[in-house]
Amino acid sequence: MVRGPARLLLTRERVALNFLQRLSGVATLAERFVHAVAGTGVRILDSRKTTHGLRVLEKMAAAAGGVVNHRMGLWDAVLIKNNHIRLAGGVRAAVERARPLGKPIEVEVRTRAEIDLALDCGAGRLLLDNMSPQQAAEEIRFIARRAEVEISGGVTLANVRAYAEAGPDFISSGSITHSATAVDINCGIYEI
């Protein structure tokens, strides 16, 4: 219960409720993802796909729901995506350019050839992007713990369990923050 002068409460009520509803929605969706993979050993990650200006709050809400915060920004780890690979001239060139930064390096891979190259370059984590659960399971068996594995792309509550059963270390989903539905919360006002 919130108590205070009516004018003060009414001028702040909507903003406070908007934050509370939005962040409660993020925490609730995060908890649903975590619950969906319970018992598999897979850790659910959030992403940087957050509302402008609300990243810290949305990541706190995701963590409250049980997910692991992943990459607050571009400064805490290197994620080499397919466009970086193309611009650098290949996986090896992209990894070599990133290595002097001294940050953990994760490489987005889409094919067996890219997996081989990323492993040969010493990438610590591979991101299997937009693969089916069956394809991801096959590639995870091939990787055979030579690197951590994260699955991303097209992950929903409906299919996250199938992806978890493929055996990755992590599954990330931007939908935890960008698609969370606000929780319907209302406020009773009492003047003192």
pLDDT tens for the 192 residues of the chain, in order: 677 887 887 888 888 888 899 999 999 999 999 999 999 999 999 887 777 887 888 889 999 999 998 877 666 788 999 999 999 999 999 999 999 999 989 999 999 999 999 999 999 999 999 999 999 999 999 999 999 999 999 999 999 999 999 999 999 998 888 888 888 887 765 555
Question: Which of 121, 127, 117, 132 has the alpha carbon at shortest distance from 168?
Answer: 127
Domain of 128, in residue numbers: 3-191
Specify whether 58 is catalytic: no
Question: What is the predicted pLDDT for the residue at 186?
Answer: 76
31 catalytic residue (yes or no)? no
Q: What is the CATH classification number for the domain harbouring 124?
A: 3.20.20.70
Q: How far is CA 113 from CA 11, 19, 188, in A?
A: 59, 45, 60
Tokens of 176: 């935890």
Nearest to 65 by CA among 180, 168, 186, 187: 180
Question: Which is catalytic among the residues 48, 49, 125, 146?
Answer: 49
Contact yes or no for 150/168 (Cβ under 8 A): yes
What pLDDT score was predicted for residue 192?
54
* Structural tokens at position 31: 């908890």
146 is catalytic: no
Residue 162: CB partners within 8 Å, gap ≥ 6?
133
- Supply the pLDDT for residue 139: 98
Q: What is the count of structural domains for the chain?
A: 1
Given 31, 114, 116, 129, which residue is catalytic? 129
pLDDT of residue 191: 54
Query: Is there a catalytic annotation at residue 141?
Result: no
Residues 50 and 58 sit within 8 Å (Cβ to Cβ): yes
Question: Catalytic residue at 108?
Answer: yes
Distance CA(181)–CA(28), nearest Å, equals: 9
Question: How confident is the model at residue 50, as a pLDDT?
Answer: 72
Residue 47 has a pLDDT of 81
Rounded to whole angstroms, how far apart are CA atoms 41 and 19?
A: 32
177 contacts 50 by C-beta, under 8 angstroms: yes
Q: What is the predicted pLDDT for the residue at 128?
A: 97
The structure tokens 């539905």 sit at 181
pLDDT at 16: 84
Residue closest to 71 by CA, chosen among 138, 152, 137: 152
Q: Cβ contacts of residue 137 below 8 Å, gap of 6+?
A: 165, 166, 167
pLDDT at 189: 56
Q: Of 32, 48, 81, 97, which residue is the catalytic one?
A: 81
Query: Which of the residues 58, 106, 108, 150 is marked catalytic?
Result: 108
